[in-house]
Amino acid sequence: MNLNKNNCIFILCLFLNYILLAQTVKSDSTEIKQLDEVVITATRTIRQLSSLPLPVQIISKKDIESSNSIRLSDILNEQTGLITVPDYGGGEGIQLQGLDSQYTLILIDGVPLIGRSAGTLDITRLTVGNIKQIEVVKGASSSLYGSEALGGVINIITENPKKGLNGDINYRLGAYNTHDLNTLISYKKKKIGISTFINRYSSNGYDLDDDVTLKTVEPYSNYTFNSKLTYDISKKTKILLSGRYYTQNQDYVASEELKGESNINEWNARFKISHNYNKKWSSNFDLYTTRYIAKEYLDSISTGSRYSDSNYDQVLIRPEFRVAYHVNNKNSFIGGIGLNHETLDRDDFTEKPIFNSPYIYAQYDANPTDKLNLIIGARFDSHNKYKSQFSPKTAIRYQLSNKLAIKSSIGYGYKAPDFRQLYFDFTNATVGYTVLGYNAVATAIPELEAQGEISSIIVPISEFDSELKPESSVSINLGIDYTFNSKLTSTINFFRNNISNLIDTRVIANKTNGQNVYSYYNVNNVYTEGLEFNLKWNPTKNLKILGGYQLLYAKDKDAKEAFNNGEVYARDNNNSSFQLQKDDYYGLYNRSRHMSNLKIFYNIPKYKTDANIRTTYRSKYGLTDSNGNTYLDNYDDFVNGYCILDFSINKTFYKNYKLGFGIDNLFNFTDPDNITNIPGKLIYGKLKIHF
């Protein structure tokens, strides 16, 4: 690990040295024009990034392109405080401010993606080929977005049709027989705009461990189709129609004997009409519908018969009406009213659940003085299956001087219990344990009892009479923006998320086969806290250096208490128990205390070439309780910290052609035992044609 870390540092220094040397010769000192980027996710209105009272990150198309990223996971992994964590289902979810993937809402153009079969939303599903910008809002944002926006929101803004006829073809060929081909064609003339995007991505997968018969990632291929149609009925009334279809096919291999396929089909369709009544009033109506279907099967090779089948089919329909009232330059309001209608058809469920959740929200955005910005918002979600939620939020930013601004926000976030936590009724065929959703307990336990499968009840059924509470959090962010000069800016943000009613599983009954019946319940109170630091430095017009660091403590309050009370033990080399001390509690699984990144982008206009080196570091983290005391402590086995260094170079020919070359994971870092989502060194070439 140390070797790997040192390698990263060494190469970075070399690169920097070379560039700085080149710079001094050129003595290029043109002033850099700071572009002020705009954000839509943080307030649901268009706002300048620099004026926002909330912690927000923007990833531009330019950065995505020069990094030669192909999937959303590639680019998000390089951002401060974000890391993708592989799920045992095979996908990758995003961890944000130390919170699991299920607590971050993922949007495409402001509407949510669905398909969290086990809580994780697999972000490798998303291609970056047609992305205009990615916006990351940290801190609870349920006041605008409702459920799931507990840790934050990631909004993927895709390209809109541009004037005239435009087209791009991108092809990237890389190791592991990875092909990524995408084309975006857009046309806009007067009132009509239309764009079509097609992406095909395929890979042979990879195998980190040669000993086993199964591959780490089995071969797969997927397609994304995305189309947009914009029509301006008049200067004041505009229509948007858009559709997206994603399909993936992957080999599913459980053993040499059991083989099959897993298929994902996802689509969404959207109709939006917006109208400006006058300078002060505008409104829009948005009808969004999406469906996610995942199917898996395994066949027995020797008998040729079907061994298992699984099916997951989720639908979301969401009409929403929004109004914006722009009182004057200093005061504005937005409000919205809508309904989430959600259904799920899934194996091992007691019923086909239907969620209906009407909601209403409002937000006031004020600038009492030039230096002060204040945002107050709240949302109310009513629900037919769990407790209704009221989510307020307030944020404030004060510009102390030209160089210094402070900002602070406090908000409530929640995540509704998902279908699985309520309706699951699953018995493991080989081991024999049973998992029941909270609402399934009352009917399933008496049935098991009648079949003579229950030996004793641990938690009485009456405890399941009251509703399961949504997981909720209060998040606090306190940040300072400091501008040293036009070339060097920095932000620091302190965060704390207090999460209550975290849903966990517990044993509710013992079975006669010696196994348990598990169900979900509100138990844990956990917190994540830390700080995030970002630095942006443009020493010259053609050189950009970005650095970021996150410090994180993520802990369970009950676990902390148990350590404080001396109730936790570990084993020494002779397997004898000894008592653990207060400081021995490490925290939640899969959280690194330190994460950092350093990215250097260098542009050589003379040769129409840009090059960059990007490196990310993650300190050690625990994956399992290896010493059997149910807590992660300093005596457990940890996954070693690691550093990944990516390099890429792009050159433009004849104006419309661009050739790229790069190596991801230059030092070929792998950890087959613990990390399944990092393949070894990946060399690729890329061609882009613009017309």
Partner 1 sequence: MKTIRTIQLVLTFGLFLAFTSCDNNDDTDNSSSEAVESNTVTNLQATQSADYTTSPATITGDYIRFSFDSGSTTTGDDWDVAFRGTTILVNGGEATSDDEPERTGDAGIYIASGTLASITEVNTELFEVDSATDGLAITTGSDNGWYTYDSTTHIISPIAGKIIVVKTTTGTYAKFEITSYYEDGEANEDLSNSQYYSFNYVYQPNEGETSFE
Return residues touching partner 1 (CB under 8 A).
Answer: 88, 430-433, 453, 455-456, 507, 510-516, 567-571, 574-579, 624-625, 627-630
Beta bridge partners of 324: 282, 334
User: Minimal distance in Å, beta carbon 670 to partner 1?
Assistant: 20
User: Minimal distance in Å, beta carbon 432 to partner 1?
Assistant: 6
User: Minimal distance in Å, beta carbon 571 to partner 1?
Assistant: 5
C-alpha span between 262 and 156 (Å, rounded): 26
Using the structure block, give the residue that is written with the tokens 């000069």: 485
Amino acid found at 7: N
* Tokens standing for residue 611: 């090059």
C-alpha span between 502 and 469 (Å, rounded): 9
CB nearer to partner 1: give 34 or 577. 577
CB nearer to partner 1: give 217 or 570. 570
CB nearer to partner 1: give 453 or 481. 453
* Tokens standing for residue 137: 């809002």
CB nearer to partner 1: give 563 or 602. 563
User: Minimal distance in Å, beta carbon 675 to partner 1?
Assistant: 15
> For residue 19, what is the enclosing H or E element?
helix 2-26
CB neighbour list of residue 668: distance below 8 Å, 6 or more residues apart = 680, 681
User: Minimal distance in Å, beta carbon 430 to partner 1?
Assistant: 7
User: Minimal distance in Å, beta carbon 256 to partner 1?
Assistant: 15
Question: Strand 516-540 vs strand 434-436: parallel, antiparallel, or unpaired?
Answer: parallel
User: Minimal distance in Å, beta carbon 577 to partner 1?
Assistant: 5
CB nearer to partner 1: give 166 or 510. 510
Residue by residue, DSSP assigns 581-625 as PGGGB--STT--SEEEEEEEEEEEGGGTEEEEEEEEEE--EE-S-
User: Minimal distance in Å, beta carbon 514 to partner 1?
Assistant: 5
Residue by residue, DSSP assigns 443-479 as HHHHHHHHTT-EEEESS-GGGGSSPPPPEEEEEEEEE
User: Minimal distance in Å, beta carbon 418 to partner 1?
Assistant: 20
Neighbours of 443 (CB within 10 A): 13
Closest listed residue to residue 605, CA positions, set 651, 639, 640, 637:
651
CB nearer to partner 1: give 28 or 673. 673
CB nearer to partner 1: give 231 or 635. 635
C-alpha span between 352 and 372 (Å, rounded): 50
* Tokens standing for residue 90: 């095979």
CA distances, 561 to each of 472, 587, 628 (Å): 21, 12, 18
CB neighbour list of residue 590: distance below 8 Å, 6 or more residues apart = 85, 95, 621, 622, 623
Amino acid found at 200: R
User: Minimal distance in Å, beta carbon 636 to partner 1?
Assistant: 11
User: Minimal distance in Å, beta carbon 87 to partner 1?
Assistant: 12
Which 3 state secondary structure label does DSSP give 303?
coil
User: Minimal distance in Å, beta carbon 578 to partner 1?
Assistant: 6
CB nearer to partner 1: give 490 or 677. 677
Closest listed residue to residue 59, CA positions, set 82, 85, 86, 91:
82
CB neighbour list of residue 25: distance below 8 Å, 6 or more residues apart = none
Distance linking the first and last C-alpha atoms of the chain: 46
304 sits in the region (left: phi over 0; alpha: psi -120 to 50; else beta) called left
Dihedral Cα 33, 38, 42, 44, nearest 10 deg: 160
CB nearer to partner 1: give 88 or 691. 88
CB nearer to partner 1: give 434 or 497. 434
CB nearer to partner 1: give 149 or 632. 632
CB nearer to partner 1: give 524 or 624. 624
